[in-house]
Each structure stands twice: as C-alpha cells, then as structure tokens.
Amino acid sequence: MSTAKIDITRSIGARGATSSADGILVVDDHELVRLGFRALVQSQASVAEQSSIALFEANTLAQALSLYREHREEIAVIVLDLNLPDSNGLDGLMAFRQHFPAATVVVLSGSDHPATVQNALALGAVSFFSKAGDLGDMVGFVHTCLLHGPEVASQRRSRPTATFPGFSSASDPGEFAASAGQALSTRQLQILQWLLQGKSNREISQLAFLSEGTVKNHVSTLLLSFGVRSRAQLISKLRT
C-alpha cells in the first residue's frame, strides 16, 4: 500500500492551509487496523462536531518518516505500531524521536509486556496501547490529544485500556503515560543509538564531542532508565 492522506470531511483540494496541526498519522502494516482506526476517528469527529481531521496512513517506517517530514506542520499525533516490516522492536520509535524530537507519538503494539510499555515511554511515547485492548479507547486518547494536547490526554487516562500482565492498580499504563515527561533527552537518545550500534565510550565521546566521563555518566543513566546492569542487557532488551 502507498502512503495516503485522507481528509475525513473534505477533499484535499478544499482543505487549504491550516493554522495549526490537526492531523493523525497512522503507521501500521495491517489494513484492518487502519480501516478500524479510520472509522472510529470519523465517528468521534462527528460526535464532537469537529469540522475536519486529516488522516495520513503508512505501512512501513520509511514511508512514515517520509510522510511526516513532508507534512509535519499538519500532523499533530503519530500512532505507531512497533512491529513493522522495516523496523525491529523499538527502532521505529527511536527513529521518530531522533529525527523529530517534538513529535507526539502514541504506541500501538501487539506486545503488552510491562518492560515494553516502560521502555516505549522512556523513549518518549506519550502513551502505550495494546492491540488486545479496545481500539476505541486509543482513538479517544488521540482525539483528546488533538483537542487539548497530550498532557491533558495523559491526565485523563486514569486506567489501562487492556489487561497488562504484571501491572498492579498502583502502576498501570495510564500512570506511566502521565510520567512520559521523564523521557530521554535528544542527547541521551543519540548516545543510546550509538550504544545499540556497539560503539565504545571512547568512540561515542569522539562522535558527540564529549569527555569520556560525561559519556560514562550518560550510559549509567541509560542503564538505570531501562533497569539493566550492562550494555549487553540493554541491547538485548531493546532489540527483542
């Protein structure tokens, strides 16, 4: 499937210039997921009497990055599947965060392991939804992001959208979403990417123009953020 821009209530030509982003980019290689998301967005927009929501679609990471680069002024929220033909695990999320640090990314995944949820949020996703849950809940979250911003949407998400094994009532995905402001910085994301490429502290210090001591401190922070004790554990955790 090629990437597509779909204006739910108007043709592209009639849309004209917009003063603020009101679009959604859905990145998923399953057509049924995209169709279901589109129908629910249309339904919620009608209920809210919202005049227009532009919906962009991509089924690979490469398409998504290209589409967002071209239409970033129109796209307010990215809904990103972690399992795409050309990305591995959290690679897609890391790519968006590196290329577009200010992008608002909501993760939709078939894997709802607690570690995956926490890692996605640490990498900057504003929220995480399991495909085993109610797609309508995620669409509602995205719609709130469009109307009020991701901070308000996260505060209003008081409960998980599905059963996430390992989460207690005191530490559910809704609470993790509310703490997404503690995500890694752009510098930490770049160092993380070099770590995943197998580069040493000395190599990273040369690439980043930092002292080895500073790099070591960043690495220690990354290990702590992901709850691991070594580089090998970190690479294994983010590549599985």
Mean pLDDT, range 37-64, rounded to an integer? 80
> Which pair of tokens denotes residue 190?
């770049």
Give Cα 199 distance to the centre of its chain. Answer: 26
> Which pair of tokens denotes residue 77?
């929220």
Out of 40-54, 141-155, 167-181, 213-227, give the one with best mean pLDDT: 213-227
46 and 58 both lie in a single domain: yes
64 and 171 both lie in a single domain: yes
pLDDT of residue 157: 67
192 and 178 both lie in a single domain: no
Tell me the per-residue pLDDT of 3-24, one tens digit each, with 9 for 90 and over: 455 555 433 333 344 446 789 9
Tell me the per-residue pLDDT of 168-214, one tens digit each, with 9 for 90 and over: 333 344 434 433 445 677 788 888 888 888 899 999 999 889 899 99
Task: Report pTM.
Answer: 0.69
Tell me the per-residue pLDDT of 94-138, one tens digit each, with 9 for 90 and over: 999 889 988 999 998 887 788 888 888 888 899 999 888 888 888
178 and 195 both lie in a single domain: no
pLDDT of residue 173: 41
Q: Give the end of a domain, one of 133, 148, 182.
A: 182
Reported as a pLDDT band with limits 50, 70 and 90, residue 48 is low
CATH number of the domain to which 114 belongs: 3.40.50.2300
92 and 160 both lie in a single domain: yes
Q: How many CB atoms lie within 10 A of CB 30?
A: 13
C-alpha to C-alpha distance for 206 and 211, rounded to whole angstroms = 8
pLDDT of residue 17: 40
70 and 142 both lie in a single domain: yes
Residues 72/75/77/82 CA torsion (nearest 10 deg)? -60
Q: Give the end of a domain, one of 159, 182, 205.
A: 182
21 and 98 both lie in a single domain: yes
> Looking at 40-44, 145-149, 201-205, which range is the least confident one?
40-44
Res. 47: pLDDT tops 90: no
CATH number of the domain to which 196 belongs: 1.10.10.10
> Looking at 7-16, 33-42, 153-162, which range is the least confident one?
7-16
Domain count, the chain: 2
How much of the chain exceeds pLDDT 90, in percent?
26
Mean pLDDT of the residues in the chain: 77
Q: What are phi and psi of 52, to 5 degrees?
A: -165, 135
Q: Give the end of a domain, one of 134, 157, 182.
A: 182
Q: Beta-strand (E) ranges in 125-239?
A: 127-130
pLDDT of residue 46: 62
82 and 113 both lie in a single domain: yes
Which residue range is the domain that position 116 belongs to? Answer: 4-182
159 and 201 both lie in a single domain: no
35 and 104 both lie in a single domain: yes
pLDDT of residue 75: 94
224 and 140 both lie in a single domain: no
Q: 211 vs 53, 223, 231, CA distance in Å?
A: 47, 19, 19
C-alpha to C-alpha distance for 180 and 125, rounded to whole angstroms = 7
The b-or-e profile of 91-101 (16+ CB within 10 A means b, else e) is bbbbbbbeebe
Tell me the per-residue pLDDT of 55-109, one tens digit each, with 9 for 90 and over: 999 999 999 999 999 999 999 999 999 989 998 788 899 999 889 988 999 998 8
111 and 10 both lie in a single domain: yes
